[in-house]
Structure 1
Amino acid sequence: MNSETIKIGILGIGGIGGFVGAPLAKKYKDSSTKIIFICRGETKSNIEKEGLVFESKGEKETIFPDLISDNPREIGILDVLILTSKSYSIKEVLSAYKDCINEKTIIISLQNVVNAQEIIRETLPETGQIMEGCIYVASNVKKPGHVQHVGGPGKIFVGGKENKPLIDLLLAGGLDITYLENINETLWKKYLFVAPVAAITSAYKVSFGQLLEDQNLLHILENMMIEIQSLALKNNINLTNEDIETAKGLLTKFPFESKSSLQLDFENNNKTEKQFLVDFVIENAKKYGIETPFYNAVNEKIMALYSVS
């Protein structure tokens, strides 16, 4: 971060990567801050030809970053790597781009997990400085290279070692980002919302709005959140009943037709984050002797519905 040129890579230009990368690429075009979209396949091809098409709040923009690449040699060493790929891809993509990361590279993780640091360190035991984070947004891929922000405030929270110059740079680049000294509590509060909502909407094939209208499903959702509350306590995080009410209330902040990314992945026959949003809760609760009847029932419904294990 002390060099004149700062290289920021966004790894994975899907719904989240597009939402994060679009304002940064627009703001820092032709400046000493270089924004690199790290992507491959059809996404890379489409953005190279047509730019990143980004829709938000009724406006559509076409944005070209400084570099679009999947070649570590071309990308070079990054000052900042914003990791926006799916949770199941973390190890794979970090292995693929480990040559772009050194001991000074700051890695910002924006996955829907509470153990990103642990996952990253399994691949990079010593390299990179990790700032675990989360983002509150609903942003989907309409087609490769075309991202639509459909709801949610877009707020980003990060922890780790404080770096005010970096936070200021990202703020100036159009991101609503806040540094928190104790990020773990915020990660669990986000997980309290995203994990059970993803599971229940997938199991019952309902949108956020339909979930809000169904008292039986809301009862199941609340009990799933209570099961996560018990698991969080075993990890020294005290989630209150008020936190549960706040998490349930977040559903009202999204459009009626919004769907969870897990649900969309199931519908599109894509690889899913079930391991991190459903299995993680059940398996870790079992280790602590916590009963999860509501999570178990929803998991069984998902497995039957989509023929997954």
Structure 2
Amino acid sequence: MNSNTIKIGILGIGGIGGFVGAPLAKKYKNSATKIIFICRGETKNAIQNKGLQFESKGIKETIFPDVVSDNPTEIGILDVLILTSKSYSIKDILSTYKDCISPQTIIITLQNVVNANEIIRETLPEAGQIMEGCIYVASNVKQPGHVQHIGGPGKIFVGGKENKQLIDLLVSGGLDITYVPNINEILWKKYLFVAPVAGITSAYKVTFGQLLEDENLMHILDNMMIEIQSLASKNNIMLTKEDIETSKDLLTKFPFESKSSLQLDFENNNQTEKRFLVDYVIENAKKYGIGTPYYNDVNEKIKTSYNVS
């Protein structure tokens, strides 16, 4: 990031990519900081022709980034790559755009996982700086090129090697982003919320509000979080009872009708992140001899409801 022109690519302009990319493209239009939306198909065509339609807090804006492309040659070498795609896409996407990533490229991850660094290095072992991160937001695609921010503060936390220049650039671009040295703890705290909520809302086909109103389901959710707590402890992350209560309380911060992205993907017959949000917990807990009866039951209900393995 020592050159006069800084190229920031946002890979995947879905709910999260649109939320992150919109303020950056708006702020840095016609400046030395170039914002590139990396997307394909209908999304690429819609944004190229009509711009990104972005709705937040009752305001709808049309935003044009500097470049919208799926062509690695046109994109060129990036200074910063913000990964906002689903977890299951990371390996294929990085393989496709490996020529846009140099050892100096800073990769920021915003997936709902606790092992993004591991996933990336399996595909790009020579990758340079990886800043694992997470974002607290509910933002959905209404249609290709049209993103709606539903709820959640949009707060972003990132770790890895500290880079004040980059963080300041992103903050100036309208992102609520904070560097933390203990990112693994933050990632597990978010996972404590995201993974069990995704599993239970998908299994029982309920919204966040309906989940909150059902004592039996909240009991199941509480025990799923305790199972996550046990797994985290094996990774040297101590999640407390207060962390569990905070995670459950987060449900009240979203609109009643909110649904998890896993649930929406099941409903829309899309590829899902079940492998990262449900299977990962069960399989890794088993390695440590941790029982996961509540996660197992939710998993079986998901498999039955959606006819998946």
What TM-score, normalized to structure 1? Answer: 1.00
The whole-number CA distance in structure 2 between the counterparts of 1:50 and 1:207 is 32
Alignment partner, residue 207 of structure 2: 207
1:7 lines up with 2:7 in the alignment: yes
Matched-pair identity in %: 84
Correspondence list, 1:107-186, <5 A: 107-186=107-186
Q: Which residue of 2 aligns with 1:257?
A: 257
- 1:268 corresponding residue in structure 2: 268
Which letter does structure 2 place at the counterpart of 1:49? N
How many residues matched? 309
Equivalent residue for 1:217? Answer: 217
* Superimposed CA distance per residue, residues 193-242 of structure 1 (whole angstroms, 9 cap, x where no aligned partner): 00000000000000000000000000000000000000000000000000
Deviations, residues 139-175 of structure 1 (Å, cap 9, x unaligned): 0000010000000000000000000000000000000
Deviation of the 1:246 alpha carbon: 0.3
User: 1:128, CA displacement in angstroms?
Assistant: 2.8
Q: Distance in 2 between matches of 1:263 and 1:57?
A: 24
Deviations 1:59-84 (A, max 9, x none): 00000000000000100000000000
CA distance in 2, matches of 1:67, 1:175: 20
The whole-number CA distance in structure 1 between the counterparts of 2:95 and 2:77 is 14
Quote the Cα distance in structure 2 between the aligned partners of 1:99 and 1:286.
38
Identify unmatched segments of 5+ residues in structure 2. none
Matched with 2:82 is 82
Q: Secondary structure at the match of 2:30?
A: coil
Q: For the residues of structure 1 that align with 2:207 and 2:61, how far apart are their CA atoms?
A: 27
Amino acid at match of 2:250: L
Structure 1 segments of 4+ aligned residues over 3 angstroms from their partners: none
Q: What letter is aligned with 1:99?
A: D
Distance 1:198 1:236 in 2: 24
Cα deviation, 1:260-283, whole Å, max 9, x if unaligned, reads 000000000000000000000000
The answer for the alignment partner of 2:284 in structure 1 is 284
Gaps of 5+ in 1: none
Q: Deviations over 1:39-90 (max 9, x none)?
A: 0000000000100000000000000000000000100000000000000000
In the other structure, the counterpart of 2:25 is 25
Q: Which residue identity is paired with 1:243?
A: D
Alpha-carbon distance, 1:127 to partner: 2.0
TM (normalized to structure 2)? Answer: 1.00
| Residue 126 of structure 1: how far off its partner (Å) | 1.2
Quote the residue 1:194 is aligned against. Answer: 194
- CA-based RMSD: 0.3
Secondary structure of the residue that 1:139 maps to in structure 2? strand
1:163, 1:228 → 2: CA distance? Answer: 31
Output the CA distance in 2 between the equivalents of 1:273 and 1:128: 26
